[in-house]
Structure 1
């Protein structure tokens, strides 16, 4: 594939397709009353819970998350009060009749809260809903802030997976992104988690950071392999300073172009594969015995707001500021500013700020996009028929898709669209060919490669 083709598609700003339609399509036409009705319809179904803790002690300049920097504990205590109130409201609306199979704590830094507060939150969830005895419980962790007391509390609370932010071990890169974190800190956190019964560890890495080079990408990946996490997620840095103002502190001149980003991603991938990891989807890696690898082999891989997953629950319920939920009828998102979120909850109102009601065509396109993102192939004709549409509806007159085929990125045969795994870094461009809303979202996304 020519550098010109890589540059043309790789420089394109495209969604990550962790949902469809993507979040910029959400609108305030969906509010608390809609969400309340949707929650009642979720009773009895297998459910995932997501809890957002939007606080950190310091800002990492690359961060794209909704988070607030605080050195004081009181804002966190106040927020946890609102969070438990929201849990109570949802419990009442669902009559606690949820078969909870997955719980995920995201942030921010979820482990910024105190050990007893985390244990209290888990007890609240178990007392409010039907949390399965073998539910997967995962927590995002900043190893620099993890204490032995919190590590012990995570084990006591039944956490099954911990996701540790690593990004890069290159000191020059760390300085450029305002995140200094040693290999020793990361290894110590990993060992402590395992000693407390947390059997699955995930590391997050990022390529495309300022001053990053192929050699440092390889060195970071080798250091990670030595610690033997069960999974790794390798993301491309999304530089959107118009959306995240703190990213303006990053020197744009030090950022690599699309070709260099691709080379960095491949260098990390080759190092991890040489270390015994399977490449899963676009940007995940797993040991062969991990459930994620098994799901990929069985064609059961899924994609949600946390990336690639084995989560097959009917519904996702989000708690906390900015959190997103997905129910049968569509998506809902809470108010983003923690103060606005808390004010709504304390007043006894669901903090729903916006959402989206799915159409039949949305469900069809979402199905096709998810299979492409997970399998690099989608039987578009069969999927269309299963949703009650003409088999060639999404293929007929699809100029973007046919352009991708002409450039050797995708093939189309008998209603099946395929992308060779060697072209996987451009899969978002192929998925975008089935996005009916991409050109009217008015939002800057990350580069496709």
Structure 2
């Protein structure tokens, strides 16, 4: 496939497909009553994944696309954790003492809660849920903020994996995006975590940032590899100032062109492969012996709001402001604003304000999209048979693939769709053919690469 064919699709805005239907299609039709009913219907032998959102940071990074609040005071954090504990209790009262296979703290900067409050959260979770012996407990870390005391608290409370936010090590780019973080600071953070017994470290990187170049990306990769991470996530920066107002601070004229983003993405991928990492789906890399790499090789890789995962849970329970949950019946999302979320918790309610209930067709399309995103391959006729649909129900979608096949983005053989390695970075575009809700004119999603 020629670069000219690839470049034809670079600027199309496509969902990341961490869910289907995607979050813009959630609505108030799904509220706390529906969520409570869904929770009560979770089978007793189901395994849960628990996600806890802590929406606080000390400073704002201009590239950020997360729901976060800036504070340097303990009061709001302490109040938030108190309400989060109440939400844990409320959810546990409804769903009972199910097994927990995976626990993830996201943000924001979840370690901002400090050692004592983090210990309180973990104690409450263990009291209310049955942690599996090999449950993974993961947390996102801002290396600039981690203290020795907090690292020790993470280790004492059973954290098994930490994701280090890096994005870039280029000083000029760091200054431009308001996140100055040296390699030495990040190495010291990794040393603290490993000293506390947390051996599995992930690193998050961004390409396509303001002033970023291939050379700066390669310097960042070299620095990241010096940390010996088990996994790396390499995302393309999503510039959506219409949704994230603070991104307007960034000089759009200094953003890399679509061609430059493609070159950066390819260079990073090549460097990761040369370093011995296995490419996972669209944008993750892992050591060959990492559970995520094993999951991909065995067809067990999953994709959810945290990206790619080997999480085996049957339901994802989100807690905290803006958190998203996934149950067999559909998706639910808590109130975005801390006050709105807190008011609902104080009133003794579940904080769900929107979501979407799956139709049987949604489940079929979701499975096809997830397998494409995870395996770069899906047997469409087999999926249709598995879900009990008419064999011709997706004939229009298969017909719409012809242009992508002609351009080299996909191959089709007997209804089996394969995305070639050379166009892996455009798998979202192939998956979008099966998205019945996609409005390309809406412009709310990230560019394809």
Work out whether the TM-score is over 0.5.
yes
1:229 aligns with 2:245: no
Q: How does 1:34-183 map to 2 (within 5 A)?
A: 34-44=34-44, 45-96=46-97, 98-183=98-183
Contact 1:25 1:441 in 2 (8 A): no
Q: Contact between 2:143 and 2:185, CA under 8 Å: does it hold in 1? A: yes
What does 1:265-344 correspond to in 2, within 5 Å?
265-344=265-344
- Kindly provide the CA deviation profile for residues 97-142 of structure 1, in whole angstroms up to 9, marking residues without a partner as x: x111000000000001110100110000000111212210000000
- Residue pairs, 1:398-417, within 5 angstroms: 398-417=398-417
TM-score between both structures, scaled by the size of structure 1: 0.98
Tell whether the 8 Å contact from 1:278 to 1:287 is kept in structure 2 after alignment.
yes
Q: Secondary structure at the match of 2:155?
A: helix
Question: Structure 1 unaligned runs (5+)?
Answer: none
Q: CA deviation at 1:194?
A: 0.9
Aligned length: 448
1:223 Cα deviation (Å)?
1.4
Q: Distance in 2 between matches of 1:59 and 1:75?
A: 17
CA RMSD of aligned residues (A): 1.2
Deviation at 1:175, TM superposition (A): 0.9
Matches of 1:238 and 1:396, distance apart in 2 = 31
The answer (yes or no) to whether the contact 1:24–1:443 under 8 Å persists in 2 is no
After superposition, the C-alpha distances for 1:373-402 in whole angstroms (9 at most, x for unaligned) are 011110011011100013342244545422
CA distances 1:335-373 after superposition (whole Å, capped 9, x unpaired): 000010000100111111001000100000000000000
Q: Give the alignment's TM-score, normalised by structure 2.
A: 0.98
**Partners in 2 of 1:173 and 1:393 — Cα distance?**
48
Shift of 1:306: 0.9
Q: CA deviation at 1:442?
A: 4.0
Aligned to 2:193: 193
Q: CA offset at residue 156 of structure 1?
A: 0.4
Could you tell me how far apart the structure 1 residues matched to 2:223 and 2:209 are? 18
- Alpha-carbon distance in 2 for matches of 1:212, 1:38: 45
* CA apart distance, 1:282: 0.7
Deviation, 1:440, is 8.0
* Equivalent residues of 1:207, 1:235 under 8 A apart: yes
1:21 is matched with which residue? 21
Aligned partners of 2:101 and 2:312 also within 8 Å: no
In 2: Cα distance, 1:43 partner to 1:299 partner: 24
Q: Distance in 1 between matches of 2:293 and 2:9?
A: 28
With 325-334 and 390-399 compared, the bigger mean Cα shift is at: 390-399
Aligned counterparts of 2:225 and 2:4: Cα–Cα separation in 1: 34
Further displaced range: 223-232 or 390-399: 390-399
Counterpart in 2 of 1:374?
374
CA contact (8 A) 1:24 1:441 kept: no
**In the aligned structure 1, how far is the partner of 2:400 from the partner of 2:422?**
20
Question: Where has structure 1 moved over 6 Å in runs of 4 or more?
Answer: none
8 Å Cα contact 2:397-2:433 kept in structure 1: no
Q: Report the 3-state secondary structure (helix = DSSP H, G, I; strand = E; otherwise coil) of the residue aligned with 1:120.
A: helix
State how far apart, in whole Å, the 2-side matches of 1:244 and 1:4 are: 31
Report which stretch shifted further, 229-238 or 252-261: 252-261
1:231, 1:287 within 8 Å by CA — same for their partners in 2? yes
Give 3-state SS (helix, strand or coil) of 1:51's partner: strand
Q: Does the CA-based 8 Å contact 1:222-1:272 persist in structure 2?
A: no
